[in-house]
Structure 1
């Protein structure tokens, strides 16, 4: 997911949207703990009064950041999955229905802005002190699972398979976040896991 800098893309945005755009870039790149409110204010080009009018606390901004991140990311994920599936042959759609997940992961992991899963990162940083973000993260993971499930025929087995594929993707994200050779190793491992899941699914007569 490639994003332009917050300042270059903020012309014409409302103050609230400028704040959120700055938070999107800074929180994801540097983490929510390391990013202070003053830096967000400076990047957004607003006053403190304006900032606190829209976000009474940093926790409010973090929740808004995650909700917006979810909307943007899941829309990209679904669109990318659909495009990858459309490029598959009919046979591959039947025998390797989960491979679009690998293709999308490869695109994401190689993006210069990739810093792992924003939701897992944020929960790891402040989940204990801001419990409400755990619910946002859970809803995000469920949406990821549902998007993957759309690649499969609709039945109980597909739902379980989609959740397993989501877990495999999560593991790959963590390893790819280390960078370097870990990125390719993560993609190779994800490929093997998705292939094994698809083979097991097809062996049950659902492919």
Structure 2
């Protein structure tokens, strides 16, 4: 019973994490924040932040909670694959830590933009908006490629999910890295496309995790080597 409940919680973390992040992006488009260019005037930023103060706070909550649930899903896969002490497992943990830091910082600046606008601190609101807009470029540079490249290796070395998910995860890691480089000199549109593919991957992986029969993961080769050396 405990194992079944744990399996259910892991799958639901991936599903609801994706749903919450989708709601966050939906809120951004609903309040017109996503349409604001980085070169938006102070008046435009103040109007959007003041009129949508509550929705911006709510959006930051959905973003942080969705990212946290997604990280729980990623790390749970690593744990169930018995790869927590392997190099790919450790890199997944590092990438997830960086991801949460980036998301929380973006949420702080989003809330500060809204609160500063309501309080009449126009320059503080504009500054927070300026800083907030660059986080879209930061995500694909480090945390996203690291998570999916490492997680892809973990999946390919184990039986926690079909091997196709590991291959696609590796592809997402490469796509994020390329998007991170290209978007620096163009726009963040390419990153948003890869983010959509990531959402589909997590959602489908979580559903497959819930529906397929539990299997015993293949022992990680790094762990086998470590155990062998300790035995000697």
**TM above 0.5:** no
Larger Rg: 2
The TM-score with structure 2 as length reference comes to 0.28
The TM-score with structure 1 as length reference comes to 0.31
Q: Using CA pairs below 8 Å that are at least 6 residues apart, which structure has the higher relative contact order?
A: 2
